[in-house]
Structure 1
Amino acid sequence: MRVLRAVRERVGPDFIVGVRMAVDERRADGIDAPMGLAILRHISGEDLIDFVNVIRGNIVNDAALSEVIPIQGMASAPHLDFAGMVRAELEHTGRGLAVFHAAKIDDVATARHAIREGKVDMIGMTRAHMAEPNLVRKIRLGVEHTIRPCVGATYCLDRIYQAGEALCIHNAATGRELTMPHEIDRAPVRRRVVVIGAGPAGLEAARVSGERGHDVVVVEAMPWTGGQIRLAARNPRRKDLLGIVEWRDAELLRLGVEVRLDECAEPATVIALGPDVVIVATGGLPLGADLEVGHDLVVSSWDVIGGDVKPTGEVLLFDDDGTHSAPAS
């Protein structure tokens, strides 16, 4: 309270001041909801703050952190009803603080619902804006169907901890604005561009080429787009990654990019398309184990995740990378 009084005294009555608070820490020895509400009523009684940014949970470990900042595969807006309860309670007791809230509210429809239903007064969409910095502008322009979705990979947060920079798993310009602008300029000369491969890299190359105004054709050997993303998304925890593919599919359709599926890019095929530029984006391959014997017993994670192989009996998992969990397990 002393800090809040000092802040209010310094900035005056017309300056907006708020607090970000875990109203329920969800731990045995922490602040529970009744206690958190009592604290808020006490703070608001002196008219020191104008809003409260409601959090629910704690960050004592990674598992707890993922409840506060939910990741891919977890429920959308898991604490929205709780924030709505806080707002209703404050209104009921005559403490009309504005209530803000942010926790995996990553799409406009959910944010709009939260405001219209009176759950909160303002929604925070931090990761959503990192994926799509023009989110608000696109809503105002009536083109929210073109908003690049946040897929909850939380690469942005991980990257901050690992390297001190906020990047996005599928918006390369985020965090690199000085060298890679979000707005793509039209090319001075229109060219014929052939992209081989419709995985995430090929789709992005085709999208950027289309935004540049080029005549673009994508050739993909499989009957679908997405490449390894579709394999990864077979894990229920990673299903949200499909947004990377689905958004680009829609963008290519909007840009008039031709996508040829179930077609191998043989030399004659590519030459017949008359390209000025050919972009090869056929993806990587698993690094096979270097074994002297027993190759007939070895299958890759692709084989298992894709359903081509269903191991039986005793299975040994060999991870020669060590930087991630093995979804194939």
Structure 2
Amino acid sequence: MSSESSGEIQFSNLFSPLEVGPITVRNRICETTNTIESYGHDAMGAPDEHFIAHHIAKAKGGTAWIGSETWLLNSPLPDHAVDEFYEGAAALQLAAYQLPGYQEKVSEFCDAVHAEGSVAIFQLTHLNHALAASSVPTTNIYDYVPHAMGEEDIEFILNTYADAAELAMRAGADGIEIHCAHETTPHTFLSPATNKRDDEWGGDAEQRTRFVIEGLRRIRERVGGNIAIGIRINGQESRQGGYDLMEFREMAYYIAETGFLDFINVDVGHCFGVHAYVPPSYHAPAEFREAGKALKVDVGDRVKILFSGRINEPVVAEELLRSGACDLVGMTRAGIADPEFPNKVREGRMLEMRRCIGCNRCIGEAVHSRAPRAAYRPVCSVNPVIGQEVFWSENFKPAAVEKHVVVVGGGPAGLEAARVAAMRGHRVSLLEKDRALGGQLRLAYKVPGRDSFEDFFYFQENEMERLGVDVRLECDANVAMIDELSPDVVICATGSTPRADLEAEGLDSGSVVMGRDLLRNPTLAGQRVALVSQESYFETPNIAEFLAEKGRQVEIFHMWTQIGSEIDRYSIGTVMKRLEETGVKIHTGLRLSKVEGSTVTCVSAYTGQQENFDGFDTVALVYGSVPESALHEQLQAAGSVKELYIAGSAWVPRRIAEATSHGARIALAI
């Protein structure tokens, strides 16, 4: 039996075709719409070579349903008002679909999708903080209070759906969906938390569906039965006063009864809370599958159900289909981590599949990037090609001359450098001082809810074996050892070490440890732990939760206004919930001044006033990292290596994506 047929048999539901309205989808794997800004920003969101390269990679890789990125439709502005509400992908005046030449660009994209045997589905979105069903903040994460829409506003917006749907159809789209979830304008009509109207657009569950039904009716009148029509809808709100699963089912039933729908795309959650609609690694795969299963019961086969919610594993996708939870499976982040994963699964090559680790860099950063929109590029922690597809297509080539490449360090930067160098045909030796590959990810995956990080170094271990990389573990490299190997190239990916406190007093006390060391050996921590933090990403809350789960009483002392300020909005709610549930206490605006016995003395970040906190057995410092670049400096001084590079955190400590990207780009240049 061939590997291909064995994969198709094992995942027979996942790789079976499906009719959705007038279209046939070749398998059940879907890229749901995800706005990660993959275009080149030269045409306000019109598909360009970067956009096409990113999304078509998924179609080439076997994804049957390409949802690409949302179309933000125009909303009306009063005379002399400007759009000042662009925040979190929300805007009033971004009608790129109305620009000259946009339809031609969309046609080019659709043709490319169809050439790979996939279908192109476009999402139509009204998302802003200025106009809504009622003057109630669209989301609790911002304090904008919108203007309640009048009849003229409603008429304007409903017509834009029909206009955009017609343009999509003419451009070759196979389907469209109205975005009715995630704080969009239709969502504000559906939710009892945001729809407080007493006219025909508000009221009970049935009346609140009127806006969505009217939008669908106008679309259907315009496009007929030529393309599939659907909605994306939230199966259960995670906000006070929002609708629950039963009320969602009632509304979805009323909408489906109109006959306007061919599919319903359902996920669960809110933009900031628990459960977030882009669930991070802390959540179980397909945690809210009951929302999809309930809809299947309610609407039967007449409307197809697409369910998504952290499904990065084909085994889970097959189970969802077999159990009747859905007809189509949204596997968007799985396709970002590895655009080829469907083909690998179908062909029985699952060991080669690079799995999404649920860190949320891809979507969280796109929504809240601090980079100028024109400068932002998509990012994936485990796949350095993402957002750089055109660059890689131009620069990834077999090596002109085979070289012996020695990589020192088996963390993300070193592993990716070794993998790409070997793929290009170089002879690669990887030297790692620990007993296993993975670097600091070997510590991170020990944290509750971060076990999926293990998938990254398992993938890399498999790749090292498949590509014939000479891996030497428990090998503490030095200049003499490297000279003995006679390499042509050395890449120092030696990582980083914890940053110490250089200002506080009493740090030579036996009670002071590095927070990272507690992940290696939690027995170093006494019963009461003061976790002193000067970093604002996941390290502080992760170590705190790890210790709390081990039965320690943990108090965080953070240097500024809040912990986790760099954590994406889809993860922060879950992170804070878990700390609250494990009893972790948090003090902010404090810096460590002195440790004396069991007393921790801090100073206010604002006034400099001192405050004592008593009764701690252990003080753990979480101050981020400093580069471990000594070997690189020694090799530079020796001058015996022809080509010498420094990669990842050995250069500047950052995050996984920066490390993998840096290592890969060095390997491309060799």
TM-score by length of 2: 0.46
Q: Answer yes or no: is the 8 Å Cα contact 2:253–2:298 preserved in 1.
A: no
Out of 217, 222, 226, the residue aligned to residue 429 of structure 2 is 217
* Equivalent position of 2:299 in the other structure: 90
* Equivalent position of 2:355 in the other structure: 149
What CA deviation, in whole Å up to 9, does each residue of 1:87-119 have, x standing for no partner?
12322xxx6210001001111111122223332
Letter in 2 for 1:328: I
Q: Answer yes or no: is the 8 Å Cα contact 2:351–2:462 preserved in 1.
A: no
By how many angstroms is 1:288 displaced? Answer: 0.9
Letter in 2 for 1:102: S
Separation in 1 of the partners of 2:322 and 2:236?
24
Q: Answer yes or no: is the 8 Å Cα contact 1:24–1:56 preserved in 2.
A: yes
* Equivalent position of 1:46 in the other structure: 258
The answer to whether structure 1 residue 115 and structure 2 residue 321 are counterparts is yes
* Equivalent position of 1:136 in the other structure: 342
Q: Which runs of 5+ in 1 are unaligned?
A: none
By how many angstroms is 1:222 displaced? Answer: 1.1
Question: Where do residues 167-182 of structure 1 align in structure 2 (5 Å cutoff)?
Answer: 167-181=379-393
By how many angstroms is 1:178 displaced? Answer: 2.7
Rate the CA distance shift 1:62–1:38 in 2: closer, same or farther, 3 A.
closer
Alignment RMSD: 2.2
What CA deviation, in whole Å up to 9, does each residue of 1:180-203 have, x standing for no partner?
349943212111111111111111
Q: Secondary structure at the match of 1:148?
A: coil
Rate the CA distance shift 1:282–1:53 in 2: closer, same or farther, 3 A.
same
Q: Secondary structure at the match of 1:63?
A: coil
Q: Secondary structure at the match of 2:219?
A: helix
What CA deviation, in whole Å up to 9, does each residue of 1:199-246 have, x standing for no partner?
111111111111111111111111111111111111112221111111
Q: Which moves more between the two structures, 300-309 or 181-190?
A: 181-190
Letter in 1 for 2:288: H
Q: Secondary structure at the match of 2:486?
A: coil
The answer to whether structure 1 residue 254 and structure 2 residue 466 are counterparts is yes
The answer to whether structure 1 residue 106 and structure 2 residue 315 are counterparts is no
By how many angstroms is 1:43 displaced? Answer: 1.9
Q: Answer yes or no: is the 8 Å Cα contact 1:191–1:277 preserved in 2.
A: yes
Runs of 4+ deviating beyond 6 Å: none
Question: Where do residues 194-273 of structure 1 align in structure 2 (5 Å cutoff)?
Answer: 194-273=406-485
Letter in 2 for 1:63: V
Q: Answer yes or no: is the 8 Å Cα contact 2:515–2:531 preserved in 1.
A: no
Q: Which runs of 5+ in 2 are unaligned?
A: 1-212, 370-375, 545-670
Q: Answer yes or no: is the 8 Å Cα contact 1:185–1:211 preserved in 2.
A: no
By how many angstroms is 1:325 displaced? Answer: 5.4
Rate the CA distance shift 1:308–1:317 in 2: closer, same or farther, 3 A.
closer
Letter in 2 for 1:188: A
Out of 5, 17, 23, the residue aligned to residue 235 of structure 2 is 23
By how many angstroms is 1:292 displaced? Answer: 5.9
By how many angstroms is 1:26 displaced? Answer: 5.5
By how many angstroms is 1:289 displaced? Answer: 0.6
Q: Secondary structure at the match of 1:218?
A: strand
What CA deviation, in whole Å up to 9, does each residue of 1:265-298 have, x standing for no partner?
1223222222111111110111111036323133
Letter in 2 for 1:125: M
TM-score by length of 1: 0.90
Q: Secondary structure at the match of 2:358?
A: coil
Aligned residue-pair number: 323
The answer to whether structure 1 residue 328 and structure 2 residue 543 are counterparts is yes
By how many angstroms is 1:139 displaced? Answer: 3.2
Q: Answer yes or no: is the 8 Å Cα contact 2:406–2:429 preserved in 1.
A: yes
Separation in 1 of the partners of 2:538 and 2:321?
38
Letter in 1 for 2:502: D
Rate the CA distance shift 1:57–1:321 in 2: closer, same or farther, 3 A.
closer
* Equivalent position of 1:279 in the other structure: 491
Q: Answer yes or no: is the 8 Å Cα contact 1:132–1:147 preserved in 2.
A: yes
Q: Answer yes or no: is the 8 Å Cα contact 2:245–2:291 preserved in 1.
A: no
Q: Answer yes or no: is the 8 Å Cα contact 1:303–1:309 preserved in 2.
A: no
By how many angstroms is 1:132 displaced? Answer: 0.8
Q: Secondary structure at the match of 2:267?
A: strand
By how many angstroms is 1:135 displaced? Answer: 2.1
By how many angstroms is 1:169 displaced? Answer: 1.1
* Equivalent position of 1:63 in the other structure: 274
Separation in 2 of the partners of 1:127 and 1:71?
11
Rate the CA distance shift 1:321–1:36 in 2: closer, same or farther, 3 A.
closer
Out of 269, 293, 304, the residue aligned to residue 518 of structure 2 is 304
By how many angstroms is 1:27 displaced? Answer: 5.4
Separation in 2 of the partners of 1:32 and 1:302?
41
Q: Answer yes or no: is the 8 Å Cα contact 1:159–1:165 preserved in 2.
A: no
Separation in 1 of the partners of 2:283 and 2:302?
32
Letter in 2 for 1:4: L
By how many angstroms is 1:319 displaced? Answer: 1.6
Q: Which moves more between the two structures, 289-298 or 273-282?
A: 289-298
Computing the radius of gyration from Cα coordinates, the structure with the larger value is 2
Out of 283, 307, 330, the residue aligned to residue 74 of structure 1 is 283
Q: Answer yes or no: is the 8 Å Cα contact 1:71–1:152 preserved in 2.
A: yes
Q: Secondary structure at the match of 2:450?
A: helix
Out of 330, 333, 337, the residue aligned to residue 124 of structure 1 is 330
Q: Answer yes or no: is the 8 Å Cα contact 2:239–2:273 preserved in 1.
A: no
Q: Secondary structure at the match of 2:364?
A: helix
* Equivalent position of 1:14 in the other structure: 226
By how many angstroms is 1:252 displaced? Answer: 0.7
Q: Answer yes or no: is the 8 Å Cα contact 1:173–1:181 preserved in 2.
A: no
Separation in 2 of the partners of 1:28 and 1:180?
46
